[in-house]
Amino acid sequence: MKIAILSRKESLYSTRRLVEAGQSRGHEMQVIDPLRCYMNITPHNPSMHYRGEVLEGVDAVIPRIGASITFYGTAVVRQFEMMGTYSVNESVAITRSRDKLRSLQLLARKGIGLAVTGYAHSTKYTSDLIQMVGGAPLVVKLLEGTQGIGVVLAETNKAAESVIEAFRGLDAEILVQEFIREANGSDIRCFVVGGKVVASMMRKGKEGEFRSNLHRGGTGTSIKITPEERSTAVRAAQIMGLNVAGVDMLRSNHGPVVMEVNSSPGLEGIETYTGKDVAGTVIEFIEKSAKPNQTRTRGRG
Ligand code: ADP
Ligand code: MG
Render pLDDT for 246-293 as a digit per residue (tens, 0 to 9).
999 999 999 999 999 999 999 999 999 999 999 999 999 999 999 877
Ligand 1 neighbourhood includes 103 CB (under 6 angstroms): no
Report pLDDT for 100. 85
Ligand 1 neighbourhood includes 277 CB (under 6 angstroms): no
pLDDT tens figures, 158-192: 999 999 999 999 999 899 999 999 999 999 999 99
Residues in the chain, total: 301
Report pLDDT for 300. 52
Report pLDDT for 45. 85
Pocket test residue of 98, 100, 139, 151 for ligand 1, highest count of atoms within 8 A of CB = 151
| pTM (2 d.p.) | 0.93
Share of the chain above pLDDT 90, in %: 84
Spell out the domains of the chain, with CATH numbers in brackets: 2-96 (3.40.50.20), 117-179 (3.30.1490.20), 182-284 (3.30.470.20)
Query: Could you please report the per-residue DSSP string of 181-193?
Result: GGGTTEEEEEEEE
Report pLDDT for 297. 63
Average pLDDT rounded to a whole number, residues 71-98: 95
Q: Which amino acid is at 22?
A: G
pLDDT tens figures, 17-66: 999 999 999 999 999 999 999 999 888 889 999 999 999 999 999 999 99
Average pLDDT rounded to a whole number, residues 142-148: 81
Residues 6+ apart with CB under 8 A from 253: 182
Report pLDDT for 188. 98
Ligand 1 neighbourhood includes 260 CB (under 6 angstroms): yes
Ligand 1 neighbourhood includes 115 CB (under 6 angstroms): yes
Give residue 296's pLDDT band: very low, low, confident or very high (50, 70, 90): low
CA 151 – ligand 1 centroid, Å: 7
Report pLDDT for 298. 53
Higher-confidence residue: 122 or 132? 132
CA 256 – ligand 1 centroid, Å: 13
How would you classify the pairing of strands 60-63 and 2-6? parallel
Residue whose CA lies nearest to ligand 1 atom number 8: 148
Report pLDDT for 124. 87
CA 248 – ligand 2 centroid, Å: 7
Residue whose CA lies nearest to ligand 1 atom number 11: 211
**Average pLDDT taken over every residue of the chain:** 94
Q: With left for phi above 0 and alpha for psi between -120 and 50, is residue 84 left, alpha or beta?
A: left
Average pLDDT rounded to a whole number, residues 106-132: 94
